[in-house]
Amino acid sequence: DSGVTQTPKHLITATGQRVTLRCSPRSGDLSVYWYQQSLDQGLQFLIHYYNGEERAKGNILERFSAQQFPDLHSELNLSSLELGDSALYFCASSVGTGVAKNIQYFGAGTRLSVL
């Protein structure tokens, strides 16, 4: 168990809908990262938050947004869902924000199916 909790584990929804994925980082970790894993794109970095502030943005679509709350949990919001958004979404956490010695621990993922 990595200590990173993601909910829900599975989510099935329809095109055009909006969903929210939730992540609770390990105790003491201030950084949260979101990744998308799809069959055709592999694992892609979406966004990184540190102590409530956005630190880096990757290949995140404009239809997607994220935030980190004062209690350090994070939510990834996906709207106007398309079939191609079906994927496994991972959250990871780490202690710091610096790149050096920054080891990430991953949650079990949320599997999103858009029908």
From candidates 65, 88, 95, 96, binder to another protein by CB under 8 A: 88
Taking only Cα atoms into account, the Rg of the chain, rounded to an integer number of angstroms, comes to 13
Q: Is 10 in the site for another protein (CB under 8 A)?
A: no
Q: Identify which range of 11-19, 22-30, 68-76, 95-103 contacts another protein by CB under 8 A.
A: 95-103
What DSSP assignment string belongs to 81-100?
--GGG-EEEEEEEES-SSST
Binding mask of the shown chain, residues 37 to 76, with x at each position contacting another protein by CB under 8 A:
-----xxxx--x------xxxx------------------
